Amino acid sequence: MWFCDQCGLETSGGDPLAGEAPTCDEHGPRWRLIRNAPCAAAVIVKDDRVLLGRRAKAPFAGEWEVPGGFVERGEHPSDAAVREVFEELGIEVTLTGLVGIYVEPSARGENLQVTVYEATTTAEVATPDPAEVTEWAWFARAELPADLAGSHRTRLDDWLAGRTVPLPAGGGGD
């Protein structure tokens, strides 16, 4: 499955890996250079529960995810994680640890480098951005949903395994 690099809609036909251009109904054949896209995300923990969101759009629409998104030019990944959580949930977080750095292919044909942090919050209720997520819920460690988007299972498994490296005081998002 491939997606248009302009609008994000699913394309039809063509396999870029086989030298064939996928076609977007709106933008036509899509050829472009593959780029590396830096991203940041946060595993938000409170009272030994994790806050996850259900994606509103493709890819992985309807599946649960750790909140996050693209790092803006000149932005530190820790600042991006805090910003993305606020944009998607309307809550403030404090980063407490580094879960891991992951390089993975995206549905748009680029490579994502995702820096995942552990974070805490004092917020009780998230106010989701309906363009990003349809709902948010707290999950106990032993009750994480099976339908996790893409590689979000790996991120959460690493967090569950205790692979998080503590950040120094003031290490980001404060």
- Domain chopping of the chain, boundaries: 1-32, 33-166
pLDDT at 4 over 70: yes
In this structure, are residues 52 and 66 in contact, taking their beta carbons and an 8 Å threshold? Answer: yes
Q: pTM for the whole thing?
A: 0.76
Torsion of CA 104, 106, 109, 114, to 10 degrees: -50
Q: Which residues contact 174 (CB under 8 A, 6 or more apart)?
A: 94, 95
User: 33-166 has which fold?
Assistant: Nucleoside Triphosphate Pyrophosphohydrolase (3.90.79)
pLDDT at 119 over 50: yes
Q: What's the whole-number mean pLDDT along residues 94-107?
A: 90
User: 48 or 1, which is more confident?
Assistant: 48
Q: What helix, strand, coil percent values describe the chain, rounded to 5? A: 15, 35, 50
